[in-house]
Structure 1
Amino acid sequence: MNTLLQCQPAPSFRRLFLAAAAAVVPLLVSAQPAPAAQGTSPADVFRRMSADNWIPRTVTFADLGFTGPLVLGYPDTLREIYLPVPTNVPLANAALQLDANYVRADGGRTTMILSVDGYPVSARPLTAERGDASLALAVDGNPRPSGFVRFNIDWRTAVGRENTCADARTPGNLLRIEPTTKFTYRYDGSAVRDLSTAWSSLPSTPTILVASGKLSTEAYDSAWRVGVALERAGKRPVIRALPTVGDTVDMRGVTIPAALRSIPAYAGLTEGGPHKIKDAAEIGALMALGAAGPFQADIVIADQSFAGAMGGNFEALKGQ
């Protein structure tokens, strides 16, 4: 059995589903009454989802391994954080949300300087004894050949005047940065054109999708090798199997487009919360939602069992 390892970013995974869905939607539409009011057909919905190549990413300090707050204070007043991004891929809507607070027991002139890729982007004085140092920063979308955005935090205090002698140590002036601090951005998945860039675009907790809980020797070996490689790269991979009839899925946060609700397989998926899958057509319907649905993956171990399971689910959807 030949095992195909697809190390593609999320849009390719989504198009894998949407391409199959596009083939069955015309048959579904012909058996359904015309959509009301909005004039949007199921085929329009799938075409729109398939055309959307933008992938959102959120990287928190916790994702980078900070299990607790990062504290800056004398003598450790400077820190540089490397935020991973896809190599040589432009970013859109990139922003940093710094969640921080401070205390100042030693007074002096305290300044917090923030820099991105070596260039200062914010400098602010802090004069109260304690307060909120949180800040939102826009980040330019230029491609990063290194695969990282460098974020520098400089927390400094000047004590006394330049022409007087004073103790420059200020151990009571502390900046506390929470692990919820996050970097958000989007990138165009169509800009990822090689394996190394796809690898750099993976999130901190990538999902590996396999056909089922029982794998062939080749598929198991591929999944194991990919998982080990991800662990060595500092990732925390999660392995998930394709859903089966009787599985329960969490539909919270999943919105079924109105144009799809007239299709029987989608009719029972409109309520949020836990949902027990009742047939293969519902699996096909969930998969066809791609990134908008509850099943998302970054890497697919696509062997014959996977292809067979996917084909069966979409055939069930087509046959309703």
Structure 2
Amino acid sequence: MQCTLNQVAQVLPILFKSKVVPFLHSSPAIGKSSIAKQIAEKYHLEVIDLRLTEMDASDIQGLPYFKDGKSTFLPFDTFPIESTPLPKTKKGWLLLLDEFNSALPSVQASAYKLVLDRQVGQHKLHDKCFIIACGNLDNDNAIVNTMSSALISRFAHFYIQVDNTEWQEWAVANDIHPMITSFLNFKPNLLYTFNPDLDTPYASPRTWQMMSKVLDNNTPLIVMASLLGLGVAHEFKAFMEYHKELPTIEDILKDPENYPIPDMIGIRWATLTMVVGHLDKDMDKLTTYLKRFSPEMHMVALREIKGRYGIDKIAQSKLLREWLTDLGVKAYGHKPR
């Protein structure tokens, strides 16, 4: 079924416990492997990241070994088997089988035994080894080799959709440049612009993360276009120009009850993000200013403040704490956690 990455993350422990293997299908560059690695970190698992398109069937089966007139298959040490000791500081392994449905049929057939019988060659996988498979959609012009019906029935299938709200929460928690989160609050449709009929760069969760690493006030348009595509790069560059027209925090602090809220929607979004980023300069005064924005922008402020500031920091301002509590009740029916 269709779902978001966060929804999948919530059910993965259920599948792991029963040794049912999830298969995450999606268009490229939306973060399938990233969510697997986050799950691994949460449950103290060592990630084994395998691209099946780069493998041969023997890489999974192992190599034949002859002794006393008999042959067996010896697995490569890539896979943890029953006799493999647990990694130091880890509780097991997460085996990520990426590009599964793009692999050659012979490799898929070898992976069948891995998924169905939890075996490599003639050796059982370690009980603490959990498996996730990932693959592309067949309508994305990616190389996809049809899986057998028997193999399809061995997975729990999830079709991942990009969700801007989820990504914004992740972006704030992972220090994505506030200029980017502000822009994508203003233009959420530009988070993901993949078109399978084009072979040009496109915006995606992955490329926005890359953009964050190189972004400063002087980043050339050509660099932006190389990551996001020319159209998105032009819009993002224009949005950055808005920041030259933003009010200063000092001006807002002088009169937070009356200082004008910008009329232009782009500048308004940029101002909101800027104020949230400087909230600790004077929480009471800047909260007073934020409360004057529109209700839909309040929800964005709630999400960003929760992500950027811990509970202890928020608790320092009674005004801020009460406002966020009220917003949480309106949005979720309970206090924000």
Q: Give TM-score scaled by structure 1 length.
A: 0.26
Greater relative contact order, per chain length (Cα 8 Å cut-off, separation 6+): 1
**Greater per-residue strand proportion:** 1
**Greater per-residue helix proportion:** 2
